[in-house]
């Protein structure tokens, strides 16, 4: 197995008296889409923010291609394409504006790839992103993140708040774009249908730790490819998050 692009070892993060991350271990490999599943508030977004260097862990270590984001956040962020759960742009900004900023900040910016993604994902480039639908805004952020050509792509609940039609539109647009032999992808979600469609590997988070981690088939007890259905993943998810709960 190749060297992990993102490596989290025994990561601990506390906010006042609440322990959000309690010894979290996770590796994310190049060429794979890893989906981090878990209920709201379990620490998924906090782990991503630690990886970005936006939040400093209280214990353990995180490495992005060997770089410590807590000590060298700027250097680490050069390796990351980050898509937050809400598009983080000023009200007036268009896709062209976002592209111009990314081109100035990232030496690896690929203008040709940015143009291709705008066409493939059908994103208007002269309309303010804030005035577009949430789905269009999410595609704009994803296009910008991918055109950086990052070794690591972090997606924080990219499908949350989308209606079923918008979610399907975004999913169909990005599934083929996520996979790259040299790029690792970590996507947080609590949407089991999304996980079943995009994941090579699944990590289920509970109580600030990774309760279960492996290939999709391993996590649902080595089901064959033909059995990659949501109900099997649901059972594995509930068992990992709350073994006492039984779904009808």
Same domain, 103 and 190: no
> What's the mean pLDDT in 49-68?
95
Q: In terms of domains, do 160 and 141 share one?
A: no
**Per-residue model confidence as pLDDT tens digits over 107-136:** 999 999 999 999 999 999 999 999 999 889
Which domain-ending residue is among 119, 150, 181? Answer: 150
Percent of the chain with pLDDT over 70: 91
pTM of this prediction?
0.87
Taking residues 220-246, report their average pLDDT: 59
Percentage of the chain beyond pLDDT 90 is 60
Provide mean pLDDT across the span 83-87.
Answer: 85
248 has pLDDT over 80: no
In a domain, 5, yes or no: yes
Q: Where are the alpha helices (DSSP H) in 12-163?
A: 44-52, 73-77, 95-105, 111-120, 134-147
Q: Verify that 33 and 48 share a domain, yes or no.
A: yes
Q: Are residues 162 and 247 in the same domain?
A: yes
Please compute the mean of the pLDDT values over residues 32-56 and round it to a whole number: 92
The parent domain of residue 21 ranges over: 1-79+152-248
Q: How far is CA 84 from the centre of its chain?
A: 9
CB count in 10 Å sphere of residue 161: 13
Confidence tier at 243 by pLDDT (50, 70, 90): low
- The CA distances from residue 234 to 48, 53, 86, 202, 220, in Å, are 23, 32, 26, 12, 9
Same domain for 245 and 156: yes
Bigger pLDDT: 234 or 52? 52
State the pLDDT at residue 118: 94
Same domain, 102 and 216: no
Same domain, yes or no, for 156 and 118?
no
Answer with the one of 122, 150, 178 that is the final residue of a domain: 150
Is the same domain home to 95 and 106?
yes
Quote the number of domains for the chain: 2
Is 57 within a domain? yes
pLDDT tens, position by position, 172-183:
888 888 888 789
Residue 56 domain-assigned (yes or no):
yes
Average the pLDDT over 61-82 and give the result. 94
Is the residue at 117 inside a domain? yes
CATH, residue 219 = 3.40.50.300
Q: Pairing between strand 33-37 and 59-64?
A: unpaired
Q: Is residue 84 part of a domain?
A: no
Query: Are residue 163 and residue 73 in the same domain, yes or no?
Result: yes
Please give the residue that has the higher pLDDT: either 33 or 170. Answer: 33
Last residue of a domain, one of 107, 126, 150: 150
Question: Is the same domain home to 138 and 162?
Answer: no
Residue 32 domain-assigned? yes
* 136 and 72 both lie in a single domain: no
Give the CA radius of gyration of the chain: 18
User: Same domain, yes or no, for 2 and 63?
Assistant: yes
What pLDDT shows up at residue 201?
94
């Amino acid at each position: 197995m190749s060297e992990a692009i993102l490596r989290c070892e025994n990561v601990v993060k506390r906010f006042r008296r609440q322990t959000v991350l309690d010894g979290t271990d996770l590796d994310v490999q190049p060429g794979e889409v890893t989906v981090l599943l878990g209920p709201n508030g379990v620490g998924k977004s906090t782990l991503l923010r630690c990886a970005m260097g936006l939040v400093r862990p209280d214990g353990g270590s995180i490495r992005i291609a060997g770089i410590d984001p807590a000590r060298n956040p700027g250097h680490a962020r050069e390796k990351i394409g980050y898509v937050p759960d809400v598009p983080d742009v000023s009200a007036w900004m268009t896709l062209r504006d976002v592209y111009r900023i990314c081109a100035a900040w990232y030496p690896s910016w690929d203008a040709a790839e940015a143009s291709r993604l705008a066409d493939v994902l059908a994103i208007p480039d002269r309309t303010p992103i804030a005035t577009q639908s949430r789905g269009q805004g999410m595609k704009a952020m994803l296009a910008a993140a991918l055109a950086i050509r990052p070794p690591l792509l972090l997606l924080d609940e990219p499908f949350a708040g989308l209606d079923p039609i918008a979610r399907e539109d975004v999913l169909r647009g990005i599934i083929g774009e996520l996979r790259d032999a040299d790029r690792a992808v970590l996507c947080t979600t609590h949407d089991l249908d999304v996980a079943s469609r995009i994941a090579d590997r699944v990590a289920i988070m509970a109580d600030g730790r990774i309760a279960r981690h492996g290939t999709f088939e391993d996590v649902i007890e080595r089901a064959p490819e033909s059995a990659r259905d949501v109900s099997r993943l649901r059972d594995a998810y509930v068992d990992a998050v709350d073994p006492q709960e039984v779904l009808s």
